[in-house]
């Protein structure tokens, strides 16, 4: 019998579908095919059915610096606020303490994750305004070099440039504003630079690891070690192209990457960052939508992990990180 855990997913991209296509997150949508590409992966009814406890919803714009990016970021957060105002099945998380409150109420906690510092348009003073919108985290880059840092893949990507002086100031300002720093999409020098200056645990919300499959979008052993040394958490993405170099691969490849991190730095440093609805060329071939997230937990059980360990991987580690309840390391 399938044992249902309570996933806390560090990266789900359904908001961008609303902005592009008028996708309504409060309504149930059809699941699509196995390995469903691009979108149709998640909405609130299906997340409820999947027993989700929480999720961070990605906020996006074209990944170069512009004033339009700042405006669009605010529009997308406005949409999330409208959704939670009309749907009793979810709660807008506005503080670390709210994650526990959502759990107490038995509803899904939802918070925005701003995917790319380019949306600040190189204006450090905007961090204070961003903090008023209460995102869970800010990803420092998204497929484009910006004033703060260089991506691992995309426009301006390279493995030479790391964190800039502006980027150093930005990391400090985000930490002071109680916004988590997310290192997904960042190149190796940038990840290592951030981990050296970070005063708080950092996230890498949706990634794979080069030790299983060497892809530009994945992180190295040195990056895994550095993130763990901050007390941080690494969310594994559900992207067969990044995880196995092919479009058709089952959820077992997700677990391969989870296990690699566990064996290297321990079970407290892994989580799920599915990237459902994130325009992936495919999700695992045995999944159709977010209701199939349990296939990952089933595979973990099959490989010998205890129910307590699976609960940590699927949700508790992310919950601790988001609620600032991380143990000391």
Do 318 and 54 contact (CB within 8 A), yes or no? yes
Arithmetic mean of pLDDT over the chain: 96
Residue 287 to residue 303: CA distance in whole angstroms = 19
- pLDDT band at residue 328 using 50, 70 and 90 as cut-offs: low
| Residues 190, 162 contacting (CB under 8 angstroms) | yes
For the chain, which residues make up each domain, given as ranges? 8-322
The reported pLDDT for the residue numbered 1 is: 47
- What average pLDDT score do residues 305-321 get? 98
CA distance 256 to 239: 13
> What is the maximum span of the chain, computed from C-alpha positions, in angstroms?
53
Asked if 114 and 59 count as a contact pair (C-beta separation under 8 A), the reply is yes
Q: Among 22, 23, 26, 92, which Cα is nearest to 54's?
A: 92
Specify the pLDDT at position 19.
Answer: 87
Assign residue 266 a region: left if phi > 0, alpha if psi is -120 to 50, beta otherwise?
left
Task: Tell whether the torsion through CA atoms of 308, 314, 317 and 321 is positive or negative.
Answer: negative
Residue 110 pLDDT > 80, yes or no?
yes
Find out whether 232 and 269 touch, Cβ atoms under 8 Å. yes
What pTM does this model have? Answer: 0.97
CATH number of 8-322: 3.20.20.140
**pLDDT in the model for residue 290:** 98
**pLDDT tens-digit series, residues 23-70:** 999 999 999 999 999 999 999 999 999 999 999 999 999 999 999 999
């Amino acid at each position: 019998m399938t044992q249902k855990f309570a996933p806390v997913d560090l990266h789900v991209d359904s908001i961008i579908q609303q902005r592009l296509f008028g996708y309504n997150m409060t309504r149930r949508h059809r699941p699509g095919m196995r390995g469903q590409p691009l979108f149709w992966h998640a909405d609130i009814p299906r997340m409820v059915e999947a027993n989700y406890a929480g999720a961070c919803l990605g906020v996006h714009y074209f990944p170069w610096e512009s004033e339009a990016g700042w405006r669009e970021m605010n529009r997308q957060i406005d949409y999330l606020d409208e959704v939670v105002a009309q749907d009793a099945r979810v709660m807008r998380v506005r503080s670390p303490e709210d994650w526990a409150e959502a759990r107490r109420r038995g509803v899904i906690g939802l918070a925005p994750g701003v995917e790319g510092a380019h949306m600040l348009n190189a204006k450090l003073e905007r961090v204070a305004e961003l903090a008023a919108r209460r995102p869970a985290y800010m990803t420092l880059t998204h497929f484009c070099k910006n004033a703060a840092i260089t991506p691992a893949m995309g426009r301006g990507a390279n493995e030479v440039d790391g964190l800039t002086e502006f980027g150093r100031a930005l990391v400090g300002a985000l930490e002071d504003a109680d916004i988590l720093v997310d290192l997904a999409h960042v190149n190796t020098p940038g990840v290592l630079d951030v981990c050296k200056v970070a005063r708080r645990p950092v996230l890498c919300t949706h990634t794979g690891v080069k030790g299983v499959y060497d892809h530009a979008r994945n992180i190295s052993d040195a990056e895994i070690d550095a993130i763990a040394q901050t007390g941080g958490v690494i969310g594994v993405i559900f992207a067969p192209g990044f995880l196995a170099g092919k479009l058709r691969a089952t959820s077992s490849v997700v677990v391969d990457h989870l296990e690699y991190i566990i064996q290297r730095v321990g079970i407290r440093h892994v989580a799920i960052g599915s990237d459902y609805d994130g325009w992936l060329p495919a999700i695992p071939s045995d999944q159709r939508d977010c209701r199939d997230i349990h296939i990952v937990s089933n595979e973990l059980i099959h490989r010998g992990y205890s129910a307590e360990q699976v609960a940590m991987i699927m949700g508790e580690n992310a919950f601790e990180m988001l609620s600032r309840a991380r143990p000391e390391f």
